[in-house]
Amino acid sequence: MGSRARNLERFYPALVLALVFSIAWIASPPDRKTGASIFVTPENLLKLLRQVSEIGILAIGETLVILSAGIDLSIGSVLGASSMVSAYLLVDGAYSAPVAVAGGLATGLAFGMMNGMLVVWLRIQPFVATLATFGAARGVARLIKENASIGLDESQGGFLIIGRSFRETAAWIRSEEIPNSAAKALSDFATIPAAIFLSIGLISAFVLAKTRFGRTVYAIGGNAEASRLAGLPVRRNLLLIYAICGILAGLAGVIHCAQLEQANPVDGEGYELRAIAAVAIGGTLLTGGRGGVFSTMAGVLTLGCLSSILGIRNVRAETQLILIAIILILAVKLPEWILKLAQRTNRNT
Amino acid sequence: MIKHLITYLTCVASLAVFVSLPAAQEPKRKFLVGFSQCNNSEPWRQAMNAAAKTEAAKHKDIELVFSDAAQDSAKQVADVENFLTQKIDLLIISPNEAKPLTKVVKKVFDAGIPVVVLDRSIEGESYTCFIGADNTEIGKAAGEWIAKTLNGKGKIVELKGLMGSTPTHHRSKGFRDAIAKFKDIEIVHEAEAKWLRDEARTQFEHALAANNKIDLVYAHNDPMAIGAYLAAKAAGREKEMLFVGIDALPGKDGGAQAVIDGKLAVTFLYPNCGKEAVETALKILNKEKFERKIQLQTATVTKENAADFANPEKKK
């Protein structure tokens, strides 16, 4: 494989995303009144960003861990625990929104540190260490209210705006009533969760590409032993990687709670696997060292486009599971095949 | 580079044709109705979907499309958003939880799309019609039947659904209220069997070991009643007692069939509102009169009438 092929590899995730997006565009049923595509409308695309925001934030944290050749299975449970802690602080503790957010993030940080310490200090394999946290965090989520859920209401408006649209947020800040207008503006569909997802993506991509910490992440994933011998602070950075992943899971939990206006101890079950799937579709290797945040975001959006178009087309839930499995495999293999085919045709001419 | 592009476009085009083929065959109906189900893997909800489908098939005007949230409220919010994108004419929803779904249902309702809510309610008044059954009433009906059948005297085991869930609470309360005035009816054992057949079997083995005489088992659903029956049968004591369940689901595995087979003495219908939902949806869409709150009645399912419930398609 030449360097040209290596370079092209970086565009695989974007290629897969473009492919799925194009299919969705063509396969979209027409608007029943105007006949235009209902998939590619600003509203639907903004809705899609909101729908993927939680998994997206989880997947960004997971990308860091996987780049370092680890894995974090606990993020779904941590999301549940942090969501419960935030709601508990707001409702049972009657604390303010910033305290609840801090509580949710701190919960994420605590479980992230737990993962990091198990991996770094006790030298437990990441799969096993985070499997333990997966159970522990779920236990905490269920203990907080003895398995019951916690509902929020408008008196917690300051917290709820984290899950809302820009217009609702603006209305809350100016403390105006939100009028029910038929004419929907884009600010009705552009949401805070989507904005947080995109910002976290940009920041993480910058940190990975431009800072020493970022380069160390790749080095650890490439070869931890060589990195250690080269004098890189492997242990400290690993701890930091798991802590960041934990905080991001905590953040996703806060957003989850605000979006649903409720925390339920079973929230986030299975989310870790969806995040890992997004990372894999983005082309980040589970053996570490290769991949990146933009690839993961492409993976997240690919899954989002897919579930949106399948939903809009009313494909049965059971069939959806099977189709997503096929896409997962194709996403990992198809770009490679297309490029090979293209190279062969080039050579023949 | 151009060749890359051609290969790529060919792939896109062929896949797109493949995906859009079913679209061409869809008949155009007058009304598009979205049915947002919270969890397809519960048998009672499967029966609800089937009843709605059967009813919709009788009418030319209506096209019914389903989504399944697989017990995830966040997924159900996205499902309803997808229906909005499709510009449905009416939404039927059986919410997974009240609180998380309230906002998106309100969005649909405020957009002028009628909403029919089934089984579990949402908060506030942003819906057109609610159809549901009352679990307390069903528990009460079971309690009254039990008191009458036992002639006001006997030892009962109560197998409960998941603790903390509303149906468990209501099915227990209605039952206990109904038997409260019978001093000689005694609940000798109660256990949480989490709606599950295998859990009920284990729990009832404990009850059998602890009590050398049991007259009746009241289980909050049919699978748990059948689980208890299996445990009693294994101990050779199934003739000693009666088994009472709730739900009366159709089909080979359902409670109605278990009554026909003589495993259960009786079960009480928990009506699934699928048929009524489609009927009401049509009334709303055709601007006919309808009731805003519809409470469906239970039915006592014994050997005499169980066949009608085991195979509702045949019932006239």
Q: Is residue B274 part of a domain?
A: no
Sorted by sequence, the CB contacts under 8 Å of residue A176 that are 6+ apart come out as none
Q: What is the mean pLDDT of residues A217-245?
A: 93
Residue of A nearest to B5 (CA): A342
Q: Domain check: are B210 and B155 in the same one?
A: yes
Residue A1: what pLDDT? 45
Q: Domain check: are B40 and B119 in the same one?
A: yes
List all residues of chain B from 5 to 24 with a beta carbon under 8 Å from chain A.
7-8, 11-13, 15-16, 19-20, 22-23
Residue A233: what pLDDT? 92
Q: Is residue B21 part of a domain?
A: no
pLDDT > 50? residue B42: yes
Lowest mean pLDDT among A64-78, A150-164, B106-120, B260-274: A150-164
Q: How far is A26 from chain B (nearest CA, A)?
A: 6
Q: Is residue B294 part of a domain?
A: no
Whether B74 and chain A come into contact, CB under 8 Å, resolves to yes
Q: Domain check: are B63 and B155 in the same one?
A: no
pLDDT > 90? residue A36: no
Q: How far is A342 from chain B (nearest CA, A)?
A: 5
- pLDDT tens per residue across span A80-89: 999 999 999 9
Sorted by sequence, the CB contacts under 8 Å of residue A254 that are 6+ apart come out as A82, A83, A86, A100, A101, A104, A105, A162
Cβ contacts (< 8 Å) between B161 and chain A: which residues? none
Contact A312 B110 (CB under 8 A): no
Q: Domain check: are B109 and B176 in the same one?
A: no
Residue B40: what pLDDT? 87
Distance CA B82, CA B78 (A): 6
- pLDDT tens per residue across span A274-332: 999 999 999 888 888 888 999 999 999 999 999 889 888 888 878 888 988 988 888 88
Residue A328: what pLDDT? 86
Residue A7: what pLDDT? 64
pLDDT > 90? residue B152: yes
pLDDT > 50? residue B316: no
Residue B20: what pLDDT? 55
Q: Domain check: are B172 and B222 in the same one?
A: yes
Q: b or e along B139-162 (b: 16 or more beta carbons within 10 Å of the residue's beta carbon)?
A: bbbbbbbbbeebeeebbbbbbbbb
Q: Is residue B92 part of a domain?
A: yes
Whether B285 and chain A come into contact, CB under 8 Å, resolves to no
Burial label for B239, CB within 10 Å (0-12, 13-18, 19+), is: exposed
- Apex A177 CA angle, B106 and A260, nearest 5: 40
List all residues of chain B from 148 to 207 with a beta carbon under 8 Å from chain A.
164
Q: Domain check: are B159 and B78 in the same one?
A: no
Whether B70 and chain A come into contact, CB under 8 Å, resolves to yes
Highest mean pLDDT, choosing among A69-83, A165-179, B14-28: A69-83
Q: Is residue B82 part of a domain?
A: yes
Residue B25: what pLDDT? 45
Residue A207: what pLDDT? 96
ipTM over 0.85: no
Residue A22: what pLDDT? 92
Q: The domain that contains B230 carries what CATH number?
A: 3.40.50.2300
Distance CA A104, CA A81 (A): 8
Radius of gyration of chain A (CA): 21
pLDDT > 70? residue A131: yes
Count of domains observed in chain B = 2
Q: Domain check: are B83 and B195 in the same one?
A: no
- pLDDT tens per residue across span B126-149: 999 999 999 999 999 999 999 999
Contact A317 B164 (CB under 8 A): no
Q: Domain check: are B194 and B265 in the same one?
A: yes
Q: How far is B204 from chain A (nearest CA, A)?
A: 24
State the maximum Cα–Cα separation within chain A, in Å, rounded to a whole number: 73
pLDDT > 50? residue A126: yes
Q: Is residue B4 part of a domain?
A: no
- Domain residue limits at B95: 28-127
Q: Is residue B170 part of a domain?
A: yes
Q: Domain check: are B164 and B111 in the same one?
A: no
Interface test with B, best of A313, A316, A341 (most B CBs within 10 A): A313
Q: Domain check: are B113 and B232 in the same one?
A: no
pLDDT > 80? residue B6: no
Q: Domain check: are B121 and B143 in the same one?
A: no
Q: Is residue B305 part of a domain?
A: no
Residue A104: what pLDDT? 98
Mean confidence (pLDDT) of chain A: 90
